[in-house]
Structure 1
C-alpha cells in the first residue's frame, strides 16, 4: 500500500458504519451524499479493498470492512485520547476518564472510589457505563473505555488486554425474608424451588454455569434467566423465587431487613479484575482512578 488513509476518510467511514447508510452519514456530518460516496471510494482505492456492500436497505460491511472498522475505531479513539492528554498538560486540565463495571462495583466500592478520585482530581471528567464484561470488553478494545471492572474466565482472556486481579467475592443464595426454604443448608434442598438465575457468556455468570451445571440439571422447574440485577432483586423481594449473587450484593439499597442469605457454603467465589487495553498506556487520570480503586477494594469487607 503506497499511501495511508487520510483522517477525514476515517471519520467518514466511521460515521457511515454507525449510520448504516450514506444518506444518514451525510446528514450527521453536514455533507452531501456524493461527497461522502466519493470519500468512501477514495478510501477503498487507497486500501485496494471493497469495504461495503451497497443494497436497497443500506450498506453492510465486507469481511475487510469489518476488520478495518475495528482498527479505525480504535485509531480515532486513541488519537482523541492523545489530544486530550496534551491539552491536559498544556492547560493544567485534569482529563477525561471513561470506565465500565458491573452492578456489584456500583453497589459496593464505587461511591468511595469516586469520592477519593474526585478529591484528588476535582476537575476530572468521569463517565460511567454499567454492564457485564460481555458488553464492556468490545468497548474497551475499541478505545471507548479506559478501564473495565468485572470477572473474566482466566482461560478466555483476550490477547489484547491487561488483567489485574482486585478481589475475590464469594457467592450466596438469597431469598425474601420469611421464605419457606430460608433455612436450607444445601443446594439439594432447593431442587424444587423457583429460581431466577443470572445469564451472560463471560465472567462469573459463566463460571456459575460451569460449576453448578449438575445442580441446574436437577431443578424441578425451568429457571427464569436475566442479566438484570433490578429484575432479579424485585422477583426475589416479591415472590418465592431464589437467586444467586455475590455475597456483597446481599445487603444493597437498604434491603437487609427484606432479604435473607441462605446458610449454604458450597458455592464458588468469583475473581474480580480491572482490565485495560495493551495497545496504549493508561493516562495519568486513569492511573489516579486505578490507585483509588485498588485501595478501596483492598479495604472492603467482601
Structure 2
C-alpha cells in the first residue's frame, strides 16, 4: 500500500530542475534573483501606497501606473518564490494542477501587462494630441472598464493553454528543465500529439504581441505626426518627456520577451541555460525597473516619493 501511495503521488508531480547545467551555482544565482524580486516588491508597493494615499495622484495616468505595478508584482510572484525554493532548498516538485495553475496565471498576467502598456500609449496620445479633451476622454471609470476588458481578454486567450494539456497523460520522466511551468516545456512532457498546444501558444504570442504592438505603433505614429506639425522645440521636448518612461517600459518588455519566446521554440542551437536565464530576466528586470523609471520621469510621483522619504 505504501508503494502504491508513493507511485500515485509521484505520478501527479512534475520536477522543475531550475537552470540546467548550472545546478552547482544555484545558490549564487539566487542572490540577484532575490535582490531583483525585493526591489520589485518595494518599488511597486511604494507606487501603489503613494498613489492610494495622495488624492492629487488619483488620475488616469497614475491609475494606469498602479495597474502596471500590480501586474508587475503578480507576474514576478507567480514564479520567483518557487524558483527560490529550488535554488535554496532543492524543492523541485510541483503538482500537475499547481503547474497548470502557475502557467495560467503567469501568461494571463503577462497578457494583462501588455494591454496596460497599450492603454498607456493611448493615454499619451490623448495627452499630446488632444490635451483639451483629455479630462473628458480619459476618466477613471473608463480606465477601470479598460482594465476589466484586459482581464477578460487575458482569460479568454490564455485559458485554452492549460485546458489543452489538462487530463492528458504525461511521460514517466516528468523533469522540466526550467524554473517555472513554461507552456512549451510542459507540453513536451505529454505523451500525446502536442501540435495543437504548440500552434495555439505560438499563434497567441503573435496575435497578442502583434495586435498590441500595432496599437502602440499607431498611437506613437499619431503622436510623432502631431509633434512634427509643431515647430516649437519646447513642444518637442515636452512630448519626449511625456513619453520617455513609457518607451523605456516598452523596450524592456517586447523585444526581450519575444526573443525569449522564439528562441525557446526554434533556437535549438542555443544552450538550455541561456534560454532559461533570458526568460527569467525578461520577467524580472522589467518589474524591477518600471517603478524606478516612472518614479524618476513622472514629476508629480517623483515629488510625492521624495516627500514621504523625507518624512521617514
TM-score when normalising by structure 1: 0.21
Greater helix share, 1 or 2? 2
TM-score (norm 2): 0.21
